[in-house]
Structure 1
Amino acid sequence: MKVARHEKIIELIHQYDIDTQEELASRLNEAGFKVTQATVSRDIRALKLTKVAGKDGKSRYAIINNESGSLGEKYTRVLEDTLLSIDVGQNIIVIKTVSGMAMGVAAALDALKWPEILGCIAGDDTIMCAAKTADMALGAAEKLRSFVRLNK
């Protein structure tokens, strides 16, 4: 039950700009999970959720799931310098890079250990990342775009 609830939390924070534990608890209850604010608080700690600024300037919960809490400088640089496009089809994220850089970008993505990404396969200039669900693929692609400020 906890794993399913955690997956639903990840889905919800990718789908909505949730900024309070009460709002998250309400959305979980609407989805059929009977939770209290205390349960949500424990889930937030377990998932290592953090608050980030949303598009409207209001804070919201997000997953930044690596040890330092953010992308390392070298990974950010690799991603910013080499990414050309990010597209999503169902639960697959297709990332285009400059020629010869796909393996480096895939290694950077793998190092992030985002729970929504199952794994990446890299060629010369294209990466295919499999996400757990279509919604998680959309969320991961958006999160990646926000990190590298890729304007699509």
Structure 2
Amino acid sequence: MKLSKQDRHRKILEIIAADEIATQEELVKRLQADRLSITQATVSRDIKELNIIKANTKNGKQKFVAMRTMHDPGTDRLLKVFGEAVLNSVTAGNLIVVHTLPGMAPACASAIDAMNITGVAGTIAGDDTIFIAAKTGVDVELMEHELMQFAAVGKRG
């Protein structure tokens, strides 16, 4: 079955949010298992258009994660700011506490809000500290690990 580009993108985002997909080949196989007619070349283009990156999981493997930077150059700048300003983070119950350079927490919280991190309920920013609330049932340690992966990407950007 053929899907529109928008529906295909939505399906790809659903799959990588639900499963630990580490390669384009795995993603193609998963899409084909859902009876979608798709090639690896199309998946490769979709990954680029959706700003999907690889992040390390807590167990040392890699998986695809998506960032909400589609067609928004401002979000790219926020990601760079996030990478440069984040100092460290720690989990506390269902919260992640992120420490930033002084005055940078609001911009970093905006960057977090622009990311596609599954399970974020919301953010609150002070001057140099951000509280990120996780939805019920979310692996907060994994979410914190993903945030630090985004920070590493921002430092390179």
Normalised to the residue count of structure 2, the TM-score between the two structures is 0.57
Which residue of 1 is the match for residue 152 of structure 2? 149
Aligned residues: 126
CA RMSD of aligned residues (A): 4.0
> How far 1:148 sits from its partner (Å)?
1.9
State, as a whole percentage, how many aligned pairs show the same letter.
26
Gaps of 5+ in 1: 1-5, 26-35
Name the amino acid aligned to 1:109.
I
Which residue of 2 is the match for residue 130 of structure 1? 133
Which residue of 2 is the match for residue 97 of structure 1? 100
Which residue of 1 is the match for residue 143 of structure 2? 140
Looking at structure 2, the residues matched to 98 and 53 of structure 1 have their Cα atoms a distance apart, in angstroms, of 26
Does the 8 A contact of 2:75 with 2:111 survive in 1?
no
Does the 8 A contact of 1:52 with 1:59 survive in 2?
no
CA separation of 1:115 and 1:66: change in aligned 2, threshold 3 A: farther
Name the amino acid aligned to 1:86.
S
CA separation of 1:82 and 1:9: change in aligned 2, threshold 3 A: closer
> How far 1:130 sits from its partner (Å)?
0.8
Name the amino acid aligned to 1:73.
D
Looking at structure 1, the residues matched to 52 and 115 of structure 2 have their Cα atoms a distance apart, in angstroms, of 18
Does the 8 A contact of 1:96 with 1:127 survive in 2?
yes
Gaps of 5+ in 2: 1-12, 38-42
> How far 1:89 sits from its partner (Å)?
2.6
Looking at structure 2, the residues matched to 59 and 69 of structure 1 have their Cα atoms a distance apart, in angstroms, of 26
Does the 8 A contact of 1:21 with 1:40 survive in 2?
no
Cα deviations across residues 69-119 of structure 1 (Å, max 9, x unaligned)? 999431122112211111123321110011222112112212335342110
| 1:37 matches 2:33 | yes
SS in 2 for 1:67: coil
